[in-house]
Amino acid sequence: MYTMLQKYFGYTSFYPLQEDIIKEVLRQRDVFVLMPTGGGKSLCYQLPALLFPGVTIVISPLIALMKDQVDGLLADGIPATFINSSLSYDEIDVRRRRLSNGEIKILYVAPERLVMPEFLQFLQGLQVSLIAIDESHCISEWGHDFRPEYRQLKVLKERFPRVPVMALTATATPVVQADILTQLKLSDGKIFKASFNRKNLYYQIKPKDNPYHQILQYLEGRKKDSGIIYCQSRKTVESLAAGLQAKGYRALPYHAGLTAEVRTENQERFIRDDVEIVVATIAFGMGIDKPNVRYVIHYDLPKSIEGYYQETGRAGRDSLKSDCILFFSYADKFKIEHFINQKENEDEKQVAYKQLRELVNYCESNVCRRRLLLAYFGEHFDEPNCGNCDVCLEPKERFDGTIAAQKILSCVYRVDGRFGINYVIDVLLGSKNQKVLQNRHDMIKTFGAGKEYSKSQWQAFIRELIQLRYLGLDGDKYPVLKLNEKSRDVLLRNEKVFLTKPEEKPHIQRAEVREDYDRTLFERLRVLRKTLADQEGVPPYVVFHDTSLKEMSTYYPQNVADLRSISGVGERKLRRYGDVFLQEIVGYCKQHHVEPKPIVRKPIEPSGEQAKSLTHQATMELYRQDLTIQEIAQRRGLAVSTIVSHMEKLIQEGEDIFVDRMVSPEKQNRIRTIFNELGMERLTPAKEKLGDDYSYEEIRLVRAKMMRE
């Protein structure tokens, strides 16, 4: 595994859970993987595909995602392809022939095509070793992105009963998780759940106050950063994209009202860094593999926390600091409620109201954003300060809000607890709208008693009183304010209430980024990367991720050995791009008299299986020096039997070990004959039949070779 990881992907260690997941799959077992965006889900099936014989089938919902993944795999030297509706019949025929000839290791298909009887029959004629279902939350009616065609995937366990199935998703509540396992018949599959905590993402909620100007203020000085701005309506998408273009930003719209050709072109231009900003409805983004999205802005309120989490998850897939900004307004909430009201199915309505209420509570809360998000997905976060959200980094100033609280509670009491937030505020502000006058609430004591604050400030106070449990909110569709025992403590016993001081002019805070790298060299390498990517017709990140370029701009590698130590530089990319990048870096160092730095990495403390892998590799290095097993054992201070166990493992992993060096061909033939007679499960019967001329070590090495074959 470690050899493949370094050779093809350019990494020396796994992300959390990756190694355990891969080992479970290699044991031919089903798995369910719940791992956040950027956590390394793809590697969990891509690496086993290299170790398995035959082909791995990956079911993916989007054509753009398939192409991105295949481009990346081909750049890493891994034979992969996709079959979908973007191809002609002739192109599909060529790819099917390559699959039949065993030339492809990974095939991407859409769920609709996979369940076609003729295509299923074709796949059954191949040596299928693994089936991976990406974005598996689409199978659940309880999820935010249900796709009926995913339901048909339950046929996989019937048609491929001995093939391990891996279901993967970045967003799934406990209910959705259970539904995925049931629908795909993975009741015996092992479940792996990585933390939902994306430490590199900075979460921020801001009151919506002229959002166009708020966005312009945020974008100052960051024209080269890639970002996504989500809007609810096509009209807003078009007007905002046009407005940004008028200010000199390279921005494009994306929504379902555009033709498929325009959508594809705009998405491609964004992925290839021809434009920095895409302004989009939620029709954009699922499965977008672009790793260097530095910010995701929600211009309008999303419909659920699940959708919000997945959309913000498109930021910072390369683990570098990125911003997630949401503009919150009650007007957006009412718009969504209006659309929910149009639903005919009452159950769907209730689910939608619940999802919206959870999201609004998240926006209004003064509790750490990260803690609330993780709690939604069933994960505890015990840190008192996450250090990367607006609540933790910009604690609001508090003041003695007892009088304001008493005015609110008194007003709720005087309108008999029969009205909602905005009505109570209308009374406090002395509004003479028809409903207030009809109810004769212009005659009560609290009418006009709150003119010292604006409507939005009163809204903030009421929401905070609800969070502090001084007020109740009763009902789903038209919730009304209710007093409780804590309300009476404030009204009758003068209990003090401290509230958040209202913000006059909301501003957007950027994530604080302290990175020590040469920005001038980084920009030169970005230009070089873009040139190479354009020549090859692939996105720039297929050449190298920003993380790799930043390491190059930190350490200034001077030769192939140095470049090989840079994260994300595998053997194929080293051969393909190494010389041209080294030429740029070395030239820059000479021009600016820069001295290279030794590459310093945080040492990895090997444990368990990882430690075993490292000791096996140490044995392999000595074997490459033409030492015998006895000499290796002596050099390492280990028993001969231990070195032979290393050799067994290395042979089975496909390392280039020539068994003829250790066991003569004549002996190998005799051992093979005995194993064919007795089976390979036990060594003792084979040793007894072979006699004293054959050692256990020789028998073990030949068995390992046979098992590899």
What CATH number does residue 614 fall under? 1.10.10.1390
The answer, yes or no, to whether residue 498 has pLDDT greater than 50, is: yes
Residue 296 has a pLDDT of 96
- C-alpha 133/C-alpha 139 separation (Å) is 10
For residue 259, being part of any structural domain is answered with yes
For residue 233, being part of any structural domain is answered with yes
Q: What is the pTM of this model?
A: 0.66
For residues 379-398, average pLDDT: 84
pLDDT tens per residue, range 397-447: 788 999 999 999 999 999 999 999 999 999 999 999 999 999 999 999 999
pLDDT tens per residue, range 270-280: 989 999 999 99
Question: The dihedral of CA 131, 135, 139, 140: what is its sign?
Answer: positive
pLDDT tens per residue, range 65-79: 788 889 889 989 999
Q: Which residues of 321-349 are buried (b: 16+ CB within 10 A; e: fewer)?
A: bbbbbbbbbbebbeebeeebeeeeeeeeb
For residues 674-696, average pLDDT: 83
- The number of domains in the chain is 5
Same-domain pairing of 552 and 472? no
pLDDT tens per residue, range 499-552: 888 765 555 665 555 568 899 999 999 999 999 999 998 889 999 999 999 999
Is the separation of the CB atoms in 277 and 244 below 8 Å? yes
For residues 40-51, average pLDDT: 92
- C-alpha 115/C-alpha 692 separation (Å) is 57
Find the domain containing 486 and state its range.
398-500
* CA angle at 466 for the pair 465 and 469, rounded to the nearest 5°: 85
Same-domain pairing of 102 and 240? no
Residue 606 has a pLDDT of 43
Of 379, 220, 289, which is closest to residue 64 (Cα–Cα)?
Answer: 289
Same-domain pairing of 175 and 275? no
Same-domain pairing of 553 and 643? no
Boundary (domain end) residue, out of 349, 374, 393: 393
Same-domain pairing of 425 and 492? yes
Q: Ranked by mean pLDDT, which of 257-271, 436-450, 463-477 comes out on top?
A: 436-450
- C-alpha 324/C-alpha 244 separation (Å) is 19
Residue 433 vs residues 136, 417, 426, 462: alpha-carbon distances, Å: 50, 19, 8, 21
Is the separation of the CB atoms in 135 and 61 below 8 Å? yes
For residue 228, being part of any structural domain is answered with yes
**Mean pLDDT, the chain, whole residue set:** 86
Same-domain pairing of 183 and 227? no
Residue 56 has a pLDDT of 95
The answer, yes or no, to whether residue 144 has pLDDT greater than 70, is: no
Q: Per DSSP, which regions of 501-618 are E strands?
A: none
Boundary (domain end) residue, out of 469, 500, 531: 500
Q: What is the DSSP letter of 653?
A: T
pLDDT tens per residue, range 322-364: 999 999 987 788 888 888 888 888 888 888 888 888 898 898 8
Question: The dihedral of CA 353, 357, 360, 362: what is its sign?
Answer: negative
Neighbours of 92 (CB within 10 A): 15
The answer, yes or no, to whether residue 493 has pLDDT greater than 50, is: yes
For residue 346, being part of any structural domain is answered with no
The answer, yes or no, to whether residue 198 has pLDDT greater than 80, is: yes
Choose between 405 and 637: higher pLDDT. Answer: 405
Element (H, E) at 32: strand 31-34
Between strands 498-500 and 398-400, the pairing is antiparallel
Same-domain pairing of 39 and 133? yes
Residue 419 has a pLDDT of 93
Of 360, 357, 369, 286, which is closest to residue 323 (Cα–Cα)?
Answer: 369
